[in-house]
Structure 1
Amino acid sequence: MSSTNLHGLLNPNEASVTLILIRHGQTEWNLANKLQGWRDSPLTTQGRKTLLRTAVNNRLCHLYKPDVVYTSDLGRAMASARIICNKSGGYIVPDQRLRERRFGILEGKRKNECDDGFLLIQHWLAYQKRYEKRLDACHTIAAELLAESESMFEHRVVGFLRTLARRHAGKTVYVVSHGEWIRCANNILHGRTSWSCGEGIPMNTEMNIFELKASHVI
């Protein structure tokens, strides 16, 4: 378990939120190695079964019953949240700030597959190196990608965490989101640069727990 302040934004003397981050279940596009972003695909049968086993057997689900389950409003996360809630309790609150990072023209394409010529090769190279060099470091590539910038992505992740910390002090909150979102949140919660690789992308249905301190209204 990690106990951490939100990168200096939270008051260590205030009550904490028990925060459990969960990545959605396996999807059809996960199997096909397609980049999803803001586009969507349904959970696989295996993804649903794994989520059900997680909700029934995972010790966190038994030790920490949710007061509320926040979820990305994208279909794969909503479906995952419903499966978890049916077994673990709580009620679902969709929030757009929990969406995956938007990757523009790369969404819906098989990762590293170049079917549009040289230009798309450059875009995939930028995507592959996004933890070493920000996607928006090159203005030309950023404009062509139509992807969400690191600063915009970080802004909505931090905004959600601030809201959560103020609103649910003393409560247990599940957050069902996406790989890049959870990676970014993990970095922020540990005081790392938001766009670094950090602990990497969690596996589907992986759960991480934090004690999130409540902040002053900023």
Structure 2
Amino acid sequence: MGMAVLIRHGESQWNLENRFTGWVDVPLSPRGEEEAKKAGAKLKGYRFDVAFVSALKRAQDTLAIVLRELNQTDIPTYQDQALNERHYGDLQGLNKAETAQKFGEQQVKIWRRSFDIKPPGGESLKDTAERVLPYYEANIKPHIVAGRSVIIAAHGNSLRALVMHLDRLTPEQVLELNIPTGAPLLYEFDSAGVPLAHRYL
């Protein structure tokens, strides 16, 4: 039976500063490194065959810390920008409180949480899903169908897009979906790659 663990990177320097990060390649904060270590501790006893990670340093560092905690740094690892955080366009680098003052709190909430409304110059969650899901189907799911154990280190919105697909959530349901940092989310699959159960560790 195939298995996948999804992990959202630990707190980054810009999460700490409450800024929109998107594709800007900011490092983990010390707390984020700690969160990644704790995630590794929660995964003790699990053995992974293959890892997938975005092209951004905060996800790569999270994965590296987790695999180091598990003494599994030698597993094949594939990196792709298809798993990157959604691109926040003109909001990238702006403090979230300032953005709310500038555009209005309601508008910012719509950009952050709605399914198909893009922030100026950026991607909607729908756009993010349109790169995450084909990559998942072509590159990750075959490992799961083959009965392997996979770990995916990515971002709040790229993982929301994937969970929406795996759990068959509606655009309304995904609005309320929030994936915590550094909390491993374990999925078990049947031999066709259909999710049977999932839980946070």
Q: TM over 0.5, yes or no?
A: yes
Name 1:69's counterpart in structure 2: 51
Q: Structure 1 residues 177, 170: CA separation in 2 closer, same or farther (over 3 Å shift)?
A: same
Within the alignment, does 1:80 sit opposite 2:59 as a pair?
Answer: no
Q: Structure 1 residues 128, 41: CA separation in 2 closer, same or farther (over 3 Å shift)?
A: same
2:183 counterpart (194, 202, 206): 206
1:32 counterpart (17, 20, 36): 17
Name 2:133's counterpart in structure 1: 158
Within the alignment, does 1:126 sit opposite 2:107 as a pair?
Answer: yes
Within the alignment, does 1:146 sit opposite 2:159 as a pair?
Answer: no
Secondary structure, counterpart of 1:209 in structure 2: strand
Q: 2:32 is matched by which residue type in structure 1?
A: G
Name 1:8's counterpart in structure 2: none
Query: Aligned-pair distance for 1:199?
Result: 5.5
Per-residue CA deviations over 1:65-121 (Å, capped at 9, x if unaligned) read: 111111111011111111112222133221111100111000111114149x8xx51
2:162 counterpart (181, 185, 202): 185
Q: Structure 1 residues 149, 132: CA separation in 2 closer, same or farther (over 3 Å shift)?
A: closer
Distance 2:154 2:79 in 1: 10
Secondary structure, counterpart of 2:34 in structure 1: helix
Distance 1:79 1:54 in 2: 13
Residue pair 1:23, 1:178 contacting (<8 A) in 2 also: yes
Distance 2:87 2:57 in 1: 15
Root-mean-square deviation (CA), in Å? Answer: 2.4
1:174 counterpart (146, 151, 154): 151
Residue pair 1:97, 1:156 contacting (<8 A) in 2 also: yes
Secondary structure, counterpart of 1:159 in structure 2: helix
Number of aligned residue pairs: give it.
186
Q: 2:174 is matched by which residue type in structure 1?
A: C
Q: 1:35 is matched by which residue type in structure 2?
A: F
When the two structures are superposed, what TM-score results if normalisation uses the length of structure 1?
0.75
Q: Structure 1 residues 199, 170: CA separation in 2 closer, same or farther (over 3 Å shift)?
A: farther
Q: Structure 1 residues 201, 63: CA separation in 2 closer, same or farther (over 3 Å shift)?
A: same
Query: Aligned-pair distance for 1:198?
Result: 5.3
Secondary structure, counterpart of 1:158 in structure 2: helix
Spell out the pairing of 1:27-66 with structure 2 (5 A cutoff): 27-55=12-40, 57-58=41-42, 61-66=43-48
Query: Aligned-pair distance for 1:148?
Result: 1.5
Q: Please, which runs of 5 or more residues in structure 1 have no aligned partner?
A: 1-15, 137-141
Name 2:198's counterpart in structure 1: none
Q: Please, which runs of 5 or more residues in structure 2 have no aligned partner?
A: 194-201
Q: Which has the larger radius of gyration?
A: 1
Q: 1:171 is matched by which residue type in structure 2?
A: R
Distance 2:125 2:95 in 1: 22
Residue pair 2:38, 2:182 contacting (<8 A) in 1 also: no
Moved more, 124-133 or 199-208: 124-133
Q: 1:128 is matched by which residue type in structure 2?
A: K
Residue pair 1:183, 1:198 contacting (<8 A) in 2 also: no
When the two structures are superposed, what TM-score results if normalisation uses the length of structure 2?
0.81
Distance 2:81 2:126 in 1: 16
